[in-house]
Chains A and B, each alone.
Chain A
Amino acid sequence: MQSKTPYIRIDNVSRDYGAVRALSDLTISIEKHEFIAILGPSGSGKSTLLRLIAGLDQPSTGKIFIEGRDVTDLPPHKRGIGMVFQEFLLFPHRTVRENLAFPLRMTRETPAHIAERLDWVAGVLSLTALLDRYPNQLSGGQQQRVALGRGLIANPTLLLLDEPLANLDRELRQEMEVEIRRYQKQLGIPFVYVTHNQEEALSMSDRIAVINNGRLEALGERQAIYDSPASPFVARFVGRSTRFDGVVEPDGRTVQLSNYAYAMPGISGIPARTQVDVFVKNERFHLAPFVEGEAGIPSKVADVVLRGPFLEYILETDRGERIIAVQSKRNDAAVVGDRVLLTWAAAHAHVFAKGV
């Protein structure tokens, strides 16, 4: 892998609205063949970031480079991008065919070239039968595919997607997740995908950038973001976890839970006697039948929820806290009313000093 300028570079970008700082000093580099998800809660600034890359908005400070070119002052139609919107935003007064051909008409392509690209897009996205319909005659999923087609037809340098699946129902969403990732791998251009849905981000992307309150909380391979969260926010936001209070023992290497008789050895990097937050992903819990005297969190199974291939145990600890543990279905599964002992491997705990 030769070291070269990244395909897309977002350089120290900030966006202010008067006194409100929507984005602070974001720096992200995106490679040509990657699918990167911008993940964050509502109001985190992720859509703002996308609009800045698109050129629909200008950064207050910082620069944006596409293929080495400084595009910060370029309007959207000169950046060679494609974009897919959450509400699809298909032109209601044009047929599907005309919607798809629109970007090519804007760059004044020849009719022959337009026809060729139309055929390709219609084939890839299965739109051939719908070409003469109007957007309001299409279902949500169909509109979504047309929007995708319109974004891809002009061979853009990159594709920006703003929560495109948010308006579809769940089954369709899961189908489309697989499809969209497949298109990205086929086309070999970067997809920048904004979402608040961490399952989507985890299933579709190569890398994830987590944004909160306008700041970049974490940037890394999706597995790393999931397994090794860099901050309490990421630990809480990505995946479903439970938080415990704890304190670092005087030996500086063990974390003792404050409310339960359970400790995790092998923690490093945090000074002794610091108050900490301990995050454990719900699927990392280990449930065993309760045995008096063994280390762990004693709990009672209050309810069991069937979630497809998994079981969700709603546990009530002896202290009255509610914890959710996700386990795969087994023959010796616990039932409602059982007394269990909750434990987990120390490596699966994410420990952060409080107040960070």
Chain B
Amino acid sequence: MKPKTTEALIKWLLAAFLVLAYVFLYMPIVHILFASLSTRPNFPYPPELNFASYSRLYNNSVYQSAFANSLIIATCTAVLATVTGFLATVGVLRFGGRRALFYAVLFAAPLFVSEILLGISSMSLYYLAFGIQGNMVTAIIANSVHCFSFSFLIMAALLYRYDWRMNEAAIVCGASPMRAFWEVMLPLTWSGIMGSLICAFVLALNGLDISFYLLGATPTMPSVAWGALRYGVKPELYALSTIINFAVFVAILGLYLRIRSEARKNRRRASTAA
């Protein structure tokens, strides 16, 4: 076969496979979307547009307090994970030196320890050392450890090609190190920081294993969902699920548009300078 035809054949086969993969990933989500809007949640076809489950969700106080808890945990985790992740990223890329690989592996280590281990080990520590079962603070910290690795990887991936001599150039132009960071580095790392915040926030919001062991009775959104799931699904769950999915989608979309507009601005600047 001519090279062109083989090439085209391979390309279309791969494309078909890709489509299959996306269908696999999204079909359940879309199914739940329909189910949340239907009066027959088990088999919502043909799709309807009924918001009853959403209003029930809104009025359900258990979900509300659980959601509030989850929000608090998620927000604090996002901030804590991003800050430490940022320090770690700069530390490894700028000050790592010969031990850079060692530090990088260390900082990525939590990813290779499953969430459940993180949960039970933290729980054990607090119980053994302080006799407490755990509370919001410990839950936030444990979640941060897990999300820290994600933050680190995201920001390291984006900061990898940053030329540190730009900071030096700024300092030579008279800026203090703090100023150099603020004016020169921060704008370029925005997408990394945003990505990290979003990722950490959503992971902590939706993560069950870690918070579960550290909060016991205090409800979080996933733990309530889990409870409802085990005892037969209620349609409110579908509504909740759809809302969260939608929010994640919007957040990622926002991040993407931001990245794209940054890239466009840079290209415009580069072409006018040329």
Contacts and interface: CB of A to CB of B under 8 A. Distances in A.
Q: Per the CB under 8 Å rule, do A and B touch in the complex?
A: yes
Interface of A: 55, 58, 73-75
Contacts of A73: 2-3
A23 B2 CA distance: 21
Contacts of A75: 3
Contacts of A55: 3
Main SS at interface, chain A? loop
Nearest to A58: B4
Nearest to B6: A75
Contacts, number: 8
A297 B4 CA distance: 59
Interface string B1-34: 0111000000000000000000000000000000
A75 B2 CA distance: 8
B22 to A, nearest CB: 28
A135 B4 CA distance: 33
Nearest to B1: A73
A55 B4 CA distance: 11
A64 B209 CA distance: 64
Contacts of B3: 55, 58, 73-75
A58 B4 CA distance: 8
B92 to A, nearest CB: 21
Contacts of A74: 3
Nearest to A55: B3
A284 to B, nearest CB: 36
Q: Which 4 A-B pairs have the closest CB atoms?
A: A73-B2, A75-B3, A58-B4, A58-B3
A59 to B, nearest CB: 11
B162 to A, nearest CB: 22
Nearest to B7: A58
A75 B46 CA distance: 51
Contacts of A58: 2-4
A25 B4 CA distance: 21
A193 B52 CA distance: 74
A75 B4 CA distance: 9
Contacts of B2: 58, 73
5 contacts: A58-B2, A58-B4, A73-B2, A74-B3, A75-B3
A199 B4 CA distance: 37
A74 B3 CA distance: 7
B80 to A, nearest CB: 39
A74 to B, nearest CB: 8
A75 B5 CA distance: 12
A273 to B, nearest CB: 42
A74 B4 CA distance: 10
A58 B2 CA distance: 10
A62 to B, nearest CB: 15
A16 to B, nearest CB: 13
B9 to A, nearest CB: 14
B82 to A, nearest CB: 34
